[in-house]
């Protein structure tokens, strides 16, 4: 089986070295970068499956890098900034996870395994196509088509839409969706779910009063 490739982008040498060493010990193919410019160059050459990305880089803002590469690889953001607005912004831009420093290396390893495991489940789904009104969902290639036009979704947006479709008729609270989609007990604001629902509706050219995803007041969301 081919090794999963991971790019570690972190300007603190001690942290970068520790993460890189641990990942290689786990059997991953790993490359390291210490600034944004080098990270983008290595990303294009190395084509990693996942990027551990520090927000506070010396030259390029990590959020800008996230925006550029989020459709091509999984992203776990690493940062010393714990404000909820940074978490929401990072997730909106396509990050799959968010870890605040200081952290245990073991936690990073677990988060990576969760993301890869979830990705494999999506790839191996037997259902080739799912339909809901004018929206078609293709889990195997993570594609969404509405009225013959492809809707470009970020990873979490697709995961959320697909999950609600697979569980039509069930009401999920925001806490439930955070746990189901992110794959663990998320320590953050439930507004993250609202942000992703709003983005989905905008991209599907819908509003909250006319959407395949309905808001259940005081509880959460459902797809009928």
Tens digit of each residue's pLDDT (9 = 90 or more) over 103-132 = 899 999 998 988 887 766 454 443 334 444
Look-up of token digits 């489940």:
121
Look-up of token digits 């999506």:
122
Total residues found in the chain within this entry: 224
Per-residue confidence (pLDDT) for residue 129, from 0 to 100: 41
Give the chain's domains with CATH numbers.
5-122 (3.40.50.2300), 125-223 (1.10.10.10)
Task: Assign 145 a pLDDT band (cuts: 50, 70, 90).
Answer: confident
Exposure b/e, 124-141, CB count within 10 A at least 16 = b: eeeeeebebeebbbbbee
- Taking the whole predicted model, whether its pTM rises above 0.85 is answered as no
Left (φ > 0), alpha (ψ -120 to 50) or beta: where does 183 sit?
Answer: left
Q: Which sign does the torsion angle of CA 137, 141, 142, 143 carry?
A: negative
Task: Assign 188 a pLDDT band (cuts: 50, 70, 90).
Answer: low
Left (φ > 0), alpha (ψ -120 to 50) or beta: where does 2 sit?
Answer: beta
Which residues are 75's β-sheet partners? 51
Per-residue confidence (pLDDT) for residue 47, from 0 to 100: 92
Report residue 165 as tokens: 């479709």
């Amino acid at each position: 089986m081919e090794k999963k490739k991971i790019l570690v982008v972190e300007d603190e040498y001690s942290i970068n070295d520790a993460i890189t060493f641990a990942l290689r010990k786990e059997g991953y193919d790993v490359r390291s970068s210490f600034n944004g410019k080098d990270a983008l160059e290595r990303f294009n050459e190395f084509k990693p499956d996942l990027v551990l990305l520090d927000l506070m880089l010396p030259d390029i803002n990590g959020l800008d890098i996230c925006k550029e590469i989020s459709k091509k690889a999984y992203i776990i953001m690493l940062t010393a900034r714990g404000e909820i607005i940074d978490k929401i912004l990072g997730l909106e831009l396509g990050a799959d996870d968010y870890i605040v420093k200081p952290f245990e290396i073991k936690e990073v390893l677990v988060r990576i395994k969760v993301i890869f495991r979830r990705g494999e489940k999506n790839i191996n789904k037997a259902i080739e196509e799912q339909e809901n009104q004018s929206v078609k969902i293709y889990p195997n290639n993570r594609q969404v088509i509405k009225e013959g036009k492809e809707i470009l979704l970020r990873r979490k947006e697709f995961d959320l839409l697909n999950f609600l479709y697979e569980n039509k008729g069930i009401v999920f609270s925001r806490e439930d969706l955070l746990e189901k989609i992110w794959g663990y007990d998320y320590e953050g604001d439930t507004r993250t779910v609202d942000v992703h629902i709003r983005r989905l509706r905008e991209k599907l050219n819908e509003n909250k009063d006319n959407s395949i995803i309905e808001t259940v007041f005081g509880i959460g969301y459902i797809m009928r």
